[in-house]
Amino acid sequence: MHVLLVRHGRPETVIDSPSIADPGLCDLGRWQAERLAEWLACEDLDHVVTSPKQRAIQTVRAVAATRGLTPEVVHGFDEIDRGAHTYIPTELLPAEGGAYWEKISQRRFDEIGWDSPEEFRHRVVAAWDDMCRNPPGERVVLACHGGTIRTILADVVGNQSARFRLEYASISRIEVTAPGDPDGVSDPFCTILGTNSTAHFDAGRTTVVGAFRGAEPSTAPPLRQPLSAPST
């Protein structure tokens, strides 16, 4: 089984919602999702899995629709903040998070609807292990969250302290060459083929600028000069 782990596109901000915060994608996030679908148009994909959050579902909606696939929602792949009533994009939290960011920094997770890190890791690893032991397809897209994907990658390399940079709507790939026994007798064998690919944002561009990959192209000259043959 070949798995494409896709982080959701950039979402809207939600502050103190009366219900659990479940924002969809912002304009930039929708553009990222469109480029993702275009990039994957030629890939042979036979199953789409997503977390229950709208930001993940919307990111791969077009990927699934163009193939006549119905995304399978797996709650185990939800983010650590699955019960929170506030959602602020990660990169904005230190500047705009206020009391919410303070509680995160102080690890007061139960006060803001977050899982504990231990609960989160256990849930995600269990969902990943189940998918590996019971493959839903040969080439599978899994749309979820930065924390979820980092937890899966860290589990594959066997180091929960490992850190991975994952940008919005990026693609990471894992090959599951031995799915493991469904009864748990043998463990799955997984290989990370690549992480944080954002080439689908760069097509037709000379530079990528701004706070996020996929920001509008700059009129500034390229950061690097084109390569040329050395003079003889």
What share of the chain has pLDDT > 70, as a percent?
84
Whether the predicted pLDDT of 230 surpasses 90: no
Q: How confident is the model at residue 201 (pLDDT cuts 50, 70, 90)?
A: confident
Name the residue ranges covered by the structural domains of the chain: 2-202
Average pLDDT, the chain: 87
Q: How confident is the model at residue 186 (pLDDT cuts 50, 70, 90)?
A: confident
Q: How confident is the model at residue 202 (pLDDT cuts 50, 70, 90)?
A: confident
- How would CATH label the architecture of 2-202? 3-Layer(aba) Sandwich (3.40)
Q: What is the DSSP string of the chain?
A: -EEEEEE--PBPPB-S-SS-----B-HHHHHHHHHHHHHTTTS---EEEE-SSHHHHHHTHHHHHTTTPPPEE-GGG--TTTT-S-B--GGGHHHH-HHHHHHHHTT-GGGTTPPPHHHHHHHHHHHHHHHHHS-S-SEEEEEE-HHHHHHHHHHHHT-TT------TT-EEEEEEEE---TTSSS--EEEEEEEEE-HHHHTT-S---SSSTTPPPPSSPPSSPPP-PPP-
More confident residue, 221 or 67: 67
Whether the predicted pLDDT of 10 surpasses 70: yes
- What pLDDT score does 187 carry? 81
Q: What is the pLDDT of residues 96-153, one digit of tens each?
A: 999 999 999 999 999 999 999 999 999 999 999 999 999 999 999 999 999 999 999 9
Whether the predicted pLDDT of 29 surpasses 70: yes
